[in-house]
Structures are given as structure tokens and as C-alpha cells.
Amino acid sequence: MRLVHALIFLLLLVATHQTFLSIGSASANELAWSYEAPSPVSQVSISSDGRLAVVGGTGFVAVLDATDGKPLWVYQGRVRINAVTISADGRYAVAGAEEAQVLVFASNSNRPLWTASTDGPVLTTAMSRNGMYLAGGAFYGYVYLYIRNSSKPIIVHGGEQTVLGVALSDDGGVLVAGTYTRKVMLFNSSARNLIWSYESNDSVRAVDISADGQRIIAGANDGSVLIFGSRPEPIRVYKSGGMIRSVSISKDGSRALSGGLDSTVRMFDSVSGRSLWNSSSSGGITTTSISSNGTIAVAGSQDGKLYVFRNHQEPIREFQEGFEVISTAISASGDRILSAGGSRVHDYEINFSVSMPTTSSSPSTQPSNRESNRSTSVILTVATLIAAIVLVSVWWMRRKRLEDHSLRQRRGRRNRKHLPWQG
């Protein structure tokens, strides 16, 4: 009987575990906190150590304690913030406004250090690791580079129509910009000049750069992903099936990530330009982020899903956010992940030792079979539950028969005591 009890308990335990796996849930990856912003959010950014975050949106900029989601301060004004960036050391933040302004803050005060006017709405921002250099890209085609202690730009480059993306190396010495006029441009901050310019086949919507400024990734509207070294010719041009909405590169320059409206997330070796793996999602990818060493990757989709990857095309986590994910951010180690959309910001603290799938050391370019794996998991869960129910039913019927037999024996003994001939 003890063996039956143990077997039933084991099957129920397995069924419960399979159920948790099938819905992608584990106690270690629950939502840590949720921040309700005063209005729709445009972008979120996090410090390298994952302790501070900046959020921008319609009429506000907020700096949050990223460990609990509580705002340290909120700046509110008649501005529509399109982009925000916090320095890696968490000491400074920059915001770009629709009202043709760049606003710079110290992370301990909601009073701007300074505000600079630009020649059009500022759509994209970037900041060096210590916040000494900051950049903005404007709708009317201007690239601006500032030193933190002055609102006067040290570089103003115009004539490119809309600037859609900017990124800075860690020391701020190298600035990259992507434009509607199909250009990827590289600037030297110290020399304050344009180093080189490359013309792609379509508008360059997103750019990113490694910490040392030696590796660059760019994504274009025609689905092209371009990976550069220090020269103006790409190491590799990879063509996907839809507009590239977001690109990210690891700080160490080893890995690069792209996400596009063809619902594909793709990881590259940024040294060789080789595609390592790709994963298909259920909706167009709008935003990506990557950890400093390229181990952890994050992607958000139009249909409200947040995917977390670790060295493999199969996501180790998949969250249903309840909003279109328009911005993501990740700490240097990858254990804190932010997603934003609507008027909310979600924070996840991931324990990567829980529910880890088997990973492959060899690069893969095959589409993800996540849906197949999920179906298999559901089938196994149902089969295990059925087996547990059958065993419980057999055990219960056996126990019932034994109880009935025991009751009949007791009644027989009681009746024999009262037989007339027994006096």
C-alpha cells in the first residue's frame, strides 16, 4: 500500500512540474514589480548594475529604484519624451523631446542640469558609460553630440533628413548614427568630425556599438542587418524577411542581436558576421536587448510577448505582458530585465538555474520549434494526469472493497453472537 501511495504522489508531482513547464512559469521568474506611469511610456533604460532605471513618456521623465520599482523622482512638464537613456554607472540620464529639446538630469534630482534646443523633435538618445558624452538624433536630420557640462553641442551634423538611431561607445569617443537617407555614419568625438559614412539600400532604423567602438550593428527597413568593424564596408550583410525594428550588440562586441517585423529574432557572431541562431515569434519584434557578454538576449513583440534567450534559439522564458512591448532594457549580467508598453513597466528577476532547457554548443540557423515542444509538454502533462487519476481510482476502489469486506465480516460476527441455539 505504501508503494501505491508513493507512486501516486510521484505522478502528481511530475504532473504539476510538467504543468508549470508548459505554461512557462516558475517561482524564480515571477514578475518582481510593475510600475504604473502617469501617461503612455516611450522608452525605458537601466544602469549596468541593475539598480536604477529611467522611464520617459508623454509629459514625464522618472528615475526608478530598479530593485523595487518605486520612483525616486518624477519630472513632469509640457514635453512629449520620445527617448531616454541612463548612463551605465547610473549617475546621469538624458531625454529627447518632441518639442525639439534635449534634457539632461543627474539621477538624484528631477531638476534638469540643462535643456538644449534642437532643429526638430529628438527621436533617439545615447550616453557614454559615465555620462560625460551624450547624443541625440532629430527628425529634421541633425546629429548632436554634447559634453555633459555644456548645452552647446560639440558636433552638429545635418542634411540627412530624419536621424532614427544613435549609439555611443563606453568612453564616448565614437558615435554612430543611422538615418532615413539610408546612411550609417561614424563620428570621432575627440576630433569632432565624421570618420566615414556608408549608404545602405534602405533607411537605417536602428544602430548599436560595442563598448570599445570596434563593432557596429545596423538594421534597415528592407530587412537588412549590417555588421561593421572599424571600416566603412560591412563584414556581413544579412537579409531577413521584414523591416528591422531593433538591434543590440554586447558590450564585449562578441554577439549582436536583431529583431524584425517578420517575427524573427536573430543572433550573430559580430566578429565573423555569421548567423548563430534565429527564433520565430508569434508577432513582429519591436525591441531587443542583450547582456554585456552576449549570453542573455531579450526581445519584445507587437502581440505583447517578452522572450528571454540564453545561448540558444529556444527561449528559456516567455511572458505575456498584456501590452505591446515597445521597449526593453537589461542589466549587464542579464539577471534583471525591464519591458515597457502602454503606461506600464514590468521588471523580471531571472534565476537562470531554474527550468533551463538543453542548449546546443553548435550554431543553428533552423527556425525555432518552440510550438512543437510546447505541444509535446502539454501531451505529457495530460497523459501523466490521466495515469495519476487511473491509479487513484484503482486505489480508491480497492480500498472500498476492503472496507466493505471488513464491514461484512464484523456484521457476521455480531449476528453469530445472537443466534438462538447459542443461548
Return mean pLDDT, the chain: 86
Domain ranges in the chain are 2-13+376-422, 29-368
CA 281 to CA 353: how far, in whole Å? 24
Q: Give the CA diameter of the chain.
A: 122
Looking at residue 281, its pLDDT comes to: 95
Which H/E stretch holds residue 340? strand 336-341
Q: List, for the chain, all residue ranges whose pLDDT scores fall below the cut of 50.
A: 3-4, 10-11, 14-29, 356-374, 419-423
Q: What was the pLDDT predicted at 422?
A: 45
Task: Please list the residues that pair with 319 across neighbouring strands.
Answer: 306
In the chain the first and final C-alpha atoms are separated, in Å, by 42
Q: SS3 for 230?
A: coil
Q: Which CATH number fits domain 29-368: 3.40.640.10, 1.20.1630.10, 2.130.10.10, 2.60.40.1510?
A: 2.130.10.10
Q: How far is CA 193 from CA 127, 184, 190, 227, 252, in A?
A: 18, 14, 8, 22, 25
Residues recorded for the chain: 423
How high is the pLDDT of residue 401?
74
Which pLDDT belongs to residue 387?
67
Its sign, for the CA torsion 310, 322, 346, 28, is negative
In whole angstroms, what is the distance from residue 43 CA to residue 33 CA?
A: 17
Query: What are the tens digits of pLDDT across the range 10-22?
Result: 445 544 444 444 4
For 325, the grid coordinates are: 512591448
